[in-house]
Structure 1
Amino acid sequence: MAKRSLASQALTKRNTMQKAASKSEDFQKEITDETNVNELPDEVKEKIRYLEDNMLEDDPYNLEIYGESEVEMLSRSMKDYGFQGIILAYPHEGKYRIESGHRRREAGRLAGIDKYPVLVTEAPKEEWERRMRLFLGNLHGRKEKPMILARLAQGLFEAHEMEIKHKKREGLLKEGEITAINELVAIDMELDIKSVEKYRALLKLIPELQTMADSEVYSWSGLSSASTLNEEKQRSLAEMIRKQTEKEGAESVKKVRILEMISNLKLEQLSSDVKSAVGRNEKPEQKTGVRVRRKNGTKIIMKCAKSLHEVLDEESLIKDNEVSVVIETLEGLKKSIDEKIDALKMET
């Protein structure tokens, strides 16, 4: 059986909350926390319960993903027109845990409302199902900042990991079912896989760069490329962006400029790593009775020699701003090669 198309899988994922909320297979209306009670079919209205505030509890993961919500404007509207939307929640330890509608409940509280329309859903059977329903139930409908989408992407990634492991363990995987985690997250978020990877990469940035990514002033996708830089180089990037902004304005720090800064810092980091490796002349102290596995030097040298010859003997591109670093690296490499040649000659 061939894999289902991404479009068909996306449709299935978008209906996850609907299926969880409805026990009727022929119920086709998608339910979200923005759906008002009067918009529901009569058979679904009958399932709505009006619960006191103290009977509801937030899902802790919601705060972890979204942080504190800004609900003042929505709250003012509710003061004038009453509670808007519905809450989706399932039974949990004598109360009802919200899976969609946290923000609306908070707005209702500020508006002095203490009773809410709740569509009671079936409790999730697995932890991954709980997380996925929470994330998918709050995913669409409003524009989110890059760091929220980054946490959502990571949360969905971890939930799908648990889902796939569970299905493999229980023998529930269907033939042709997609198991590539980033692909599943891309379907959930209606993004391409590359964008999912970029969002998740934002979580590896220092807080200052994450703030810049959320600012809408700088390119978040450009900043995501800094995820492979170490903390020191990331701090250098933040400082470079600040100075460029102070000097020529934020509009001068376009994505291409950010990528150029990151490229230079990656080269510096690589050069530093090479120099660090070259400078490790002292052999580590070997513990008595411990056998140290040595690398196959011949194999590594032969493997690297071909690539080096192609770069050194043929026309290869070295950018002007990279020349000094390349020269320094080659000189360090030349010194190590000369020392190794002398040592090998002494052994023969």
Structure 2
Amino acid sequence: MARKTLASQALKKKNTLLNTANQSEKFQKEITDETNVAELPEDVKEKILYLDDDMLEDDPFNQEIYGGELEVNLLAESMKTYGFLGIIIAYPHGSKYRIESGHRRRNAARIAEISKYPVLITEPPKTEWERKMRLFLGNLHGRKEKPMILARTAQGLYETHKMEIKHKRENNLLEEGEITALNELVAIDMEIDIKSVEKYKMLLKLIPELQEMADSGDYSWSALTTAATLDEQQQKKLEAMIREKTEAEGAANVTRTWIVDISNRLKLEQSLEDVKKAQDDASKKQNTRIRRKNGTKVIMNCAKNLHEVLDKDSLIKEEEITAVIETLEGLKSSIEMKINALREHE
């Protein structure tokens, strides 16, 4: 059977979500926490309970993903005028009901001094991955989230799908042709491309100061992801340079291109420091026994690539020339030391 298309898988996942939210019964429309009771079909209204605030509990995983990013003041003001807006979706959990969608609305209602809410009761999740998946998908759409929330969402969905696929494999539940590539599944859930999924996840590798810049809206968050492979020291340099340029010229002049260029220069600087460190370590070990483990294989493999770069007209950007020269000088010194050491053992 041919591999199912991304579009067909997306449709299947959406239908699965709707079925889960409706206790496995098919809806003609999607149910979210923004849906008002009056908009629901009659058979769904029968599943609505009006519960006091103390009968509900937040899902701890919601706090882990969304943290304190619940901006609800405008929604609270609306509720003060029009009453509770939307519904809360929750399932029985012990003696209470655990919210899977509607944490923001509950917080807004508390500010508006409303203490009783319409709650759509769903079936409890059967597995941990199903619980997390339902929470993610129930909160994904309907409002614009900051980059770091989307980054935590992308990573969380990735880990959740990993649990899901493992569960399906162990229980022989995988369908023929079913997508198992994790980033692809996350892309379907978030309705973005795979490259964007990977970029969001890279934000999690940034130091907190750069993450704050990504969320600020003043700088290109996607450009900041180019610093994800830098170590902490180099990331702090980038942050300091961004702040310095912002103070001198304004945030509007800290362009995407500028951030990418600075990140690339810092990567070259970091590579140079790594080479120097390796050279220093080699110097300290000069008088010790030569390590031969895979040495010949590594040298032969590297020689081919180096010859292609050094013997042909390879492209080296003007701003990178100084760093490349320093790197080659370091390699030259290390090569000479290795040759001399090997000759002593011929």
TM-score by length of 2: 0.95
Secondary structure at 1:31 match in 2: coil
Match of 2:50 in 1: 50
Residues 284, 345 of structure 1: alpha-carbon distance in 2 compared, 3 angstrom cutoff? closer
Match of 2:62 in 1: 62
Cα separation, 2, equivalents of 1:285 and 1:7 = 63
- Displacement of 1:243 after TM fit? 1.4
Cα separation, 2, equivalents of 1:168 and 1:285 = 53
Match of 1:112 in 2: 113
- Report 1:79-118 matches (<5 A): 79-118=80-119
Secondary structure at 2:281 match in 1: coil
Match of 1:158 in 2: 159
Secondary structure at 2:228 match in 1: helix
Q: Which moved more, 1:240-249 or 1:103-112?
A: 240-249
Q: Which moved more, 1:229-238 or 1:295-304?
A: 295-304
Match of 1:346 in 2: 344
Cα separation, 2, equivalents of 1:80 and 1:212 = 36
Match of 1:337 in 2: 335
Match of 1:299 in 2: 297
8 Å Cα contact 1:147-1:210 kept in structure 2:
yes
8 Å Cα contact 2:276-2:330 kept in structure 1:
yes
Per-residue Cα deviation, 1:269-324 (whole angstroms, up to 9, x for no partner): 111111111111334999xxxxx985221111111111111111111222222122
Cα separation, 2, equivalents of 1:184 and 1:143 = 21
Match of 2:78 in 1: 77
- Displacement of 1:76 after TM fit? 1.4
- Displacement of 1:31 after TM fit? 0.4
The amino acid that maps onto 2:49 is R
- Displacement of 1:13 after TM fit? 2.8
Q: Which moved more, 1:321-330 or 1:127-136?
A: 321-330
The amino acid that maps onto 1:182 is N
Cα separation, 2, equivalents of 1:344 and 1:172 = 58
- Report 1:1-348 matches (<5 A): 1-23=1-23, 25-68=25-68, 69-281=70-282, 282-283=284-285, 294-348=292-346
- Displacement of 1:8 after TM fit? 2.1
8 Å Cα contact 2:56-2:98 kept in structure 1:
yes
Residues 100, 277 of structure 1: alpha-carbon distance in 2 compared, 3 angstrom cutoff? same
The amino acid that maps onto 1:344 is L
Cα separation, 2, equivalents of 1:293 and 1:172 = 50
- Displacement of 1:26 after TM fit? 3.9
Per-residue Cα deviation, 1:88-141 (whole angstroms, up to 9, x for no partner): 100101110000011001111111111111110000000000001001000001
TM-score by length of 1: 0.95
8 Å Cα contact 1:16-1:136 kept in structure 2:
no
Cα separation, 1, equivalents of 2:194 and 2:232 = 26
Residues 293, 98 of structure 1: alpha-carbon distance in 2 compared, 3 angstrom cutoff? farther
Cα separation, 2, equivalents of 1:103 and 1:91 = 19
The amino acid that maps onto 1:65 is I
8 Å Cα contact 2:19-2:26 kept in structure 1:
no
| Alignment size in residue pairs | 343
- Displacement of 1:25 after TM fit? 3.6
Cα separation, 2, equivalents of 1:46 and 1:115 = 17
The amino acid that maps onto 1:137 is G
The amino acid that maps onto 1:118 is V
8 Å Cα contact 2:9-2:179 kept in structure 1:
no
RMSD between aligned residues? 1.8
The amino acid that maps onto 2:322 is S
Per-residue Cα deviation, 1:56-77 (whole angstroms, up to 9, x for no partner): 0000111111122121111111
Cα separation, 1, equivalents of 2:212 and 2:275 = 32
8 Å Cα contact 1:72-1:107 kept in structure 2:
yes
Cα separation, 1, equivalents of 2:183 and 2:291 = 36
Cα separation, 2, equivalents of 1:116 and 1:181 = 37
- Displacement of 1:330 after TM fit? 1.1
Secondary structure at 1:279 match in 2: helix
Residues 23, 297 of structure 1: alpha-carbon distance in 2 compared, 3 angstrom cutoff? closer
The amino acid that maps onto 1:237 is L
8 Å Cα contact 1:237-1:262 kept in structure 2:
yes
